[in-house]
């Protein structure tokens, strides 16, 4: 639990949000597998699900009694809301109860965008990484995530998204950066990458032009990735030798290297 985690790194805790205001681009898949990849590689990681769909807990095969909603509404102490889910990996679960928490935040007269930052103050510096999964919409909780996070990882799926969509999202990021200067778009991750599909090539070429250094090695389209949540397992458990596991391992290594 919260009392027995040990932070390994010497730097400050890294706060990485996986976001983009579109659904079905691989945000949840990326948040889960990056978080587990980092934990396997030896870091301590807190994974936070800020989506009312609450898919992260079931994808990890757990049913925590409390989570982010109880933390935000102060119905439970932080220790009770953080569940150990794997070695070195902890979860602050999302789910439907977040709808009520969002209404409470909306009713605040000021400081609503900092509710998450305030609620997470007690864990500052206690993990090497905090990885946040977000909802497809730019709701109040996603705005809270942007005010808390320092690094943004944006998955880009050629099926769902055009370059225009990423550029629009970057525009909303710029709006938040005026108030939260430490926030940066750090990684652009092509997902559902399929060499046989022309669109995959096209979007990759466009992303190279616009994002160059931020662009990560694509995650291939992989059936194992889509099956693993149904078994409550990450890709490192369900398909350790699959292209999906390879892709997320490469992403993990890249993220870790940046902290050195």
- Contact residues for Mg ion, defined by CB under 5 A: 27-28
Q: What contacts 4, CB < 8 A, 6 or more positions away? A: none
CB 73 → ligand ADP: shortest distance, Å? 24
Q: Cβ closer to ligand ADP: 70 or 133? A: 133
Yes or no: say if 151 and 187 are a contact pair by the CB < 8 Å rule.
Answer: yes
Q: Does 27 bind ligand ADP (CB under 6 A)?
A: yes
Q: Cβ closer to ligand ADP: 129 or 221? A: 221
x-or-dash string of contact with ligand ADP, 145-184, rule CB under 6 A: ----------------------------------------
CB 7 → Mg ion: shortest distance, Å? 28
Residue 226 interacting partner from Mg ion, ligand ADP, none (CB closer than 5 to 8 Å by kind): ligand ADP
User: DSSP secondary-structure letter at 150?
Assistant: S
CB 55 → Mg ion: shortest distance, Å? 6
CB 145 → ligand ADP: shortest distance, Å? 13
The residues that bridge with 17 in the sheet, in sequence order, are 132, 152
Q: Cβ closer to Mg ion: 27 or 126? A: 27
Considering only residues 216 to 245 of the shown chain, the ones binding ligand ADP according to CB under 6 A are 219, 221-222, 225-226, 229
Q: Ramachandran region of residue 212, left (φ > 0), alpha (ψ -120 to 50) or beta?
A: left
Considering only residues 72 to 131 of the shown chain, the ones binding ligand ADP according to CB under 6 A are none
User: How many residues in the chain?
Assistant: 260
Alpha helices by DSSP H, listed for the chain, are: 27-40, 55-59, 68-72, 78-81, 98-107, 115-119, 140-148, 163-177, 198-211, 223-227, 235-238, 243-258
The CA distance from 75 to 65, in Å, is: 12
CB 33 → ligand ADP: shortest distance, Å? 9
Residue 68 interacting partner from Mg ion, ligand ADP, none (CB closer than 5 to 8 Å by kind): none
Yes or no: say if 93 and 68 are a contact pair by the CB < 8 Å rule.
Answer: yes
Q: Pick from 254, 253, 238, 247: which is nearest to 220 by CA? A: 247
**Closest residue by beta carbon to Mg ion:** 28
Binding site for ligand ADP (CB under 6 A): 23-29, 136, 191-192, 219, 221-222, 225-226, 229
């Amino acid at each position: 639990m919260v009392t027995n985690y040990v932070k390994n790194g010497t730097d400050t805790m890294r706060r990485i949000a996986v976001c983009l205001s579109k659904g079905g681009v691989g945000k949840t898949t990326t948040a889960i597998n990056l978080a587990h990849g980092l934990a396997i590689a030896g870091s301590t990681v807190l994974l936070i699900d800020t989506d009312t769909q609450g898919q992260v807990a079931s994808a990890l095969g757990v049913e925590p009694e409390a989570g982010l909603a109880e933390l935000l509404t102060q119905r439970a102490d932080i220790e009770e809301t953080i569940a150990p889910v794997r070695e070195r990996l902890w979860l602050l679960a999302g789910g439907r109860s977040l709808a009520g928490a969002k209404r409470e935040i909306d009713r605040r007269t000021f400081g609503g965008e900092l509710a998450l930052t305030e609620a997470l103050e007690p864990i500052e510096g206690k993990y090497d990484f905090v990885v946040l999964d977000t909802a497809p919409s730019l709701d109040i909780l996603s705005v809270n995530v942007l005010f808390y996070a320092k690094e943004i990882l944006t998955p880009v799926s050629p099926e769902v998204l055009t370059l225009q969509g990423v550029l629009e999202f970057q525009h909303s990021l710029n709006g938040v950066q005026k108030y939260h200067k430490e926030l940066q778009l750090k990684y652009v991750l092509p997902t559902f990458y399929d060499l046989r599909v022309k669109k995959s090539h096209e979007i990759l070429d466009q992303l190279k032009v616009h994002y160059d250094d931020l662009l990560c090695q694509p995650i291939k389209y992989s059936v194992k990735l889509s099956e693993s949540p149904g078994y409550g397992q990450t890709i490192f458990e369900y398909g350790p030798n699959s292209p999906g596991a390879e892709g997320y391992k490469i992403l993990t290594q890249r993220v870790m290297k940046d902290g050195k």
